[in-house]
Amino acid sequence: MHDHRNHSALVTRLHAILGGTARDTATLAGANIPDLRVMAGAARELVENTLHDRHPRLWTMQTTVAAGIAGMDAELAAHLAGQQGPIAVAENTVIFGWEVAQRARFSEALRDLPSVPREPVPGELLDWLAEQPGYLGFARTALESADARVGMLQAGEIAYTTRLFDDAEVAALGRAARLALRRDETWLPDLLDRVVRGIAVAPTSAKTLPSQALLYEIARSAEDHPTPEVVSALRTAARITRHAGVPKELAKKFKRIEPALADRLDVAFRMPDGRHRETVGEHTAVISVDGDVELSWWHGDRKLKSVPAAVRRDHPDAVKRLKDLAKQAAQRQATLARALEAGYTSPTPPPYRQLEGNPVADRLIWEFEVAPGVWEARLGLTAPGVPVRLWHPARATVDEVRAWREVVQEKEIRQPFKQAFREVYLLTPAEEAAGAHSSRFEGHIVHYSRLRALFKDRGWASNYLGFWDGGHDDGAARRVLAGGEWRVTLSHHLYEEGFAQTSVMYFERQAGASWRQAPLAEVPPLVFSEAMRDADLFIGVTSIMSDPHGAEWGPGALRDHWAERSFAELSSSAEVRRDALARLLPRLAVADRCTLAGRFLVVRGDLRTYKIHLGSANILMEPNDAYLCIVAKAAAPGLFLPFEEDGRLSLILSKAFLLADDAAITDPTITRQITTP
């Protein structure tokens, strides 16, 4: 007699395993299942529930596992073929050819895709997937099928729809794109470029797009395994789409995609240099990338101020295309610079030689091993045939750093990122004694929305905190460094509505599939310095100490914190700013009215003397240190600045120019403060 209770228990157990409450799904094919025949009956019941749309329902990949146990592949395949698009059906056909253990591993690893938020698909899984029968071929065929369907839509051969691919197809194409991006397949760039462009804009004048879901899924794939080409394609999609929300959403993803290129430097470094010259009618268009990317127009040897009228009239498509090329060049230069900067912490020497002749490399300082253990610094990627690495001030003497800053300043070299004037953060005795936590940036009150935005911009991942159940718990912003070998965490928590407070920082070393907290003394110096540099930047940009209206706040903790921090000792970034100002001051038109004194730039006006704090840019007036509130824009017209990462250097200079001529100020909100005794 059949024991319905035991059968029900087996159904419940199998459903729990397939649903994820048991992690070792692959044991379904092993000998430790007590009665495979009874388990097959339970699997059949689950598959039949799916076929007849009865609960409990399983995700498709889980159902294929149950079908393999039950011997019901044909029935399930026929059922899915009637519900899913051909690309998803093609993936199912491949999977139905696998053994149960293979299906089980696939199901377990991918059951959460696509979902947000999510963890990246492990590279090891994609490598395994490429080895499974038929899947690598499916990945290429699937993307080629998507390309063909997009082409038919754009050509008007099929009716326009905003759901060109169903949900199952989007998921399957996402897996195919991840696999191809992971392997950096040579056939992928042009194909993916056509697909991304085609799904970003309707063939009609509609402001919708053929598949927003697939566009975002490809962008998520690029977050896991970026290439310069997919970044370029997605940026083009952001420009050409008519949907107002898509560029904003893609912009968020770019902030995660571009830092991820630092972990694929061999891929990132193959970006084209962006230079371009083309004849258009009787004129020549030139895209130059030796400093800021510029599209210029020439007639013979004469550079024109704007696009010639004849070119604009007779070649409008060429003008549009060249402007697009210039934008792409600028984006690629920025992406490459970002990858190079993040590559400072790479545990293995990146393939820098791929950048020979690239204008980005020409504006950077490099070190060459001219003899065993002897490194020589030079500007530009020269000295072929010897090991090379990016110069970092942490590896240089004080005199060497000073000399390179002079070179950059005198030659007015616009470096792609802050290198000669880069801050260095060394482990302090107090931090070494503390063990695993650094309190260097603890206790700062910051504007939370600005902090979150900066986290994204610098490639840090964090959960959103809010005043709901569990939403006010301590936050943890994390960034992975050194090619995935190290992870840094900046702890923080909500302070009050709109504000957060920073806490300790700690580092973890990768240990297999998990992370293990490490003593600060074990963290590689450049990993430590670069992580601390980010934290200093976060606080410098988002701290309430920089709020010019802080003195107007009523009594309370925020006002006290502002007063304590606003004119405090300088951080490392502010010290570098002070050094840059020391070099700039002799060049200023107001040089005779400005001096550096400790933490301040002192500006002598006609009415009063002012002290601009080099950290917060806030101002005190002599003789009684009265606070002066000025809300000024960061601008230093016509003046070369060796770096401008957070806008603070420009802001200080703009205030200096204003206050040096204080008698000419007409804004009553400023003059009232200056003239009040």
Query: Cα dist. 141→77, 87, 187, 220, 359 in Å?
Result: 19, 9, 11, 20, 38
Question: How far does Cα 559 stand from its chain's mean position?
Answer: 34
| In 83-211, alpha helices (H) | 86-95, 100-110, 123-131, 135-154, 167-183, 188-200
Using only C-alpha atoms, the chain has a radius of gyration, in whole angstroms, of 30
Average pLDDT of span 527-535: 95
Last residue of a domain, one of 77, 111, 145: 111
Average pLDDT of span 452-479: 78
- What's the pLDDT at 647? 81
Res. 22 pLDDT band, cuts 50 70 90: very low
Average pLDDT of span 465-486: 77
Q: What is the CATH number of the domain that holds 139?
A: 1.25.40
Q: How far apart are CA 439 and CA 501, in angstroms?
A: 13
Average pLDDT of span 321-345: 84
Q: Is 507 helix (H, G, I), strand (E, B) or coil?
A: strand
- What's the pLDDT at 482? 87
Please indicate, yes or no, whether residues 456 and 528 belong to a single structural domain of this protein.
yes
Residue 636 has pLDDT above 70, yes or no: no
Q: Which helix H or strand E contains 445, and what residues bound it?
A: strand 445-447
* Contact call for residues 21 and 69 (beta carbons, < 8 A): no
Q: How far apart are CA 660 and CA 663, in angstroms?
A: 9
Question: How far does Cα 62 stand from its chain's mean position?
Answer: 33
Q: Is residue 362 part of a domain?
A: no
| More confident position, 342 or 90 | 90
Please indicate, yes or no, whether residues 29 and 103 belong to a single structural domain of this protein.
yes
Please indicate, yes or no, whether residues 54 and 92 belong to a single structural domain of this protein.
yes
Q: Residue 61: which of 3, 1, 7, 105 has the closest Cα?
A: 105
Please indicate, yes or no, whether residues 154 and 95 belong to a single structural domain of this protein.
no
Q: Is residue 203 part of a domain?
A: yes
Q: What is the pLDDT of residues 504-516, one digit of tens each?
A: 999 999 987 789 9
Query: Cα dist. 410→91, 405, 639 in Å?
Result: 60, 8, 13
- Pick the range with the lowest mean pLDDT from 103-117, 486-500, 572-586: 103-117
Residue 524 burial by Cβ neighbours in a 10 Å radius (0-12, 13-18, 19+): middle
Q: What is the CATH number of the domain that holds 449?
A: 3.30.310
Q: How far apart are CA 492 and CA 504, in angstroms?
A: 8
Tokens of 366: 């490099």
- What's the pLDDT at 639? 76
Q: How many CB atoms lie within 10 A of CB 590?
A: 17
Check the CA dihedral 488-494-500-504 and report its sign.
negative
**288 pairs with which residues across the strands?**
294
Please indicate, yes or no, whether residues 245 and 304 belong to a single structural domain of this protein.
no
> How many domains is the chain partitioned into structurally?
5
Residue 325 has pLDDT above 90, yes or no: no
Q: Is residue 391 part of a domain?
A: no
Report DSSP state, residue 554. P
Q: Is residue 369 part of a domain?
A: no
| More confident position, 355 or 335 | 355
Please indicate, yes or no, whether residues 582 and 621 belong to a single structural domain of this protein.
yes
**505 pairs with which residues across the strands?**
438, 490
Most confident of 455-459, 528-532, 615-619: 528-532
Q: What is the pLDDT of residues 396-409, one digit of tens each?
A: 999 999 999 999 99
Per the structure, the complete domain to which residue 624 belongs is given by 568-675
Last residue of a domain, one of 542, 559, 582: 542
Q: What is the pLDDT of residues 564-580, one digit of tens each?
A: 888 989 989 999 999 99
Q: Residue 530: which of 359, 395, 416 has the closest Cα?
A: 395
Average pLDDT of span 171-177: 94
Average pLDDT of span 68-74: 89
Average pLDDT of span 303-310: 94
Residue 487 has pLDDT above 90, yes or no: yes
Q: Is 45 helix (H, G, I), strand (E, B) or coil?
A: helix
- Pick the range with the lowest mean pLDDT from 205-209, 213-217, 272-276, 560-564: 272-276
Q: How far apart are CA 175 and CA 122, in angstroms?
A: 12
Q: Residue 105: which of 95, 115, 114 has the closest Cα?
A: 95
Most confident of 7-11, 338-342, 356-360, 375-379: 375-379
Q: Which helix H or strand E contains 296, and what residues bound it?
A: strand 294-299
Please indicate, yes or no, whether residues 601 and 487 belong to a single structural domain of this protein.
no
Q: How many residues does the chain have?
A: 677
Q: What is the pLDDT of residues 77-87, one digit of tens each?
A: 999 998 899 99
Residue 520 has pLDDT above 90, yes or no: yes
Q: Is residue 169 part of a domain?
A: yes
- What's the pLDDT at 24? 45
Q: Is residue 469 part of a domain?
A: yes
* pTM, full prediction: 0.74
Q: How far apart are CA 91 and CA 76, in angstroms?
A: 13
Please indicate, yes or no, whether residues 533 and 574 belong to a single structural domain of this protein.
no
The per-residue pLDDT of the chain, averaged, comes to 86
Q: Is residue 271 part of a domain?
A: no
- Pick the range with the lowest mean pLDDT from 198-207, 308-317, 471-480: 471-480
Q: How far apart are CA 232 and CA 210, in angstroms?
A: 20
Q: How far apart are CA 92 and CA 97, in angstroms?
A: 9
Residue 18 has pLDDT above 80, yes or no: no
Average pLDDT of span 653-662: 93
Q: Which helix H or strand E contains 533, and what residues bound it?
A: helix 525-542
- What's the pLDDT at 60? 75
Q: What is the pLDDT of residues 93-106, one digit of tens each?
A: 999 999 888 888 88
Please indicate, yes or no, whether residues 78 and 149 belong to a single structural domain of this protein.
no
- What's the pLDDT at 45? 80
- Pick the range with the lowest mean pLDDT from 33-47, 111-125, 303-317: 111-125
Residue 21 has pLDDT above 70, yes or no: no
Res. 631 pLDDT band, cuts 50 70 90: confident
- Pick the range with the lowest mean pLDDT from 48-57, 58-67, 184-193, 529-538: 48-57
Question: Which residues have a Cβ under 8 Å from the Cβ of 542 and sit 6 or more positions away?
Answer: 446, 447, 450, 451, 454
Please indicate, yes or no, whether residues 165 and 246 belong to a single structural domain of this protein.
yes
Report DSSP state, residue 578. H
Question: Which residues have a Cβ under 8 Å from the Cβ of 176 and sit 6 or more positions away?
Answer: 138, 139, 140, 142, 143
Please indicate, yes or no, whether residues 487 and 452 belong to a single structural domain of this protein.
yes
Residue 243 has pLDDT above 80, yes or no: yes
Query: Cα dist. 480→26, 528, 530 in Å?
Result: 30, 12, 11
- What's the pLDDT at 23? 43
Q: How far apart are CA 674 and CA 663, in angstroms?
A: 10
Q: What is the pLDDT of residues 147-164, one digit of tens each?
A: 999 999 999 999 999 999
Q: Is residue 403 part of a domain?
A: no
Please indicate, yes or no, whether residues 77 and 152 belong to a single structural domain of this protein.
no
- What's the pLDDT at 224? 86
Residue 111 has pLDDT above 90, yes or no: no
- What's the pLDDT at 180? 96
Last residue of a domain, one of 76, 111, 146: 111
- What's the pLDDT at 7? 44
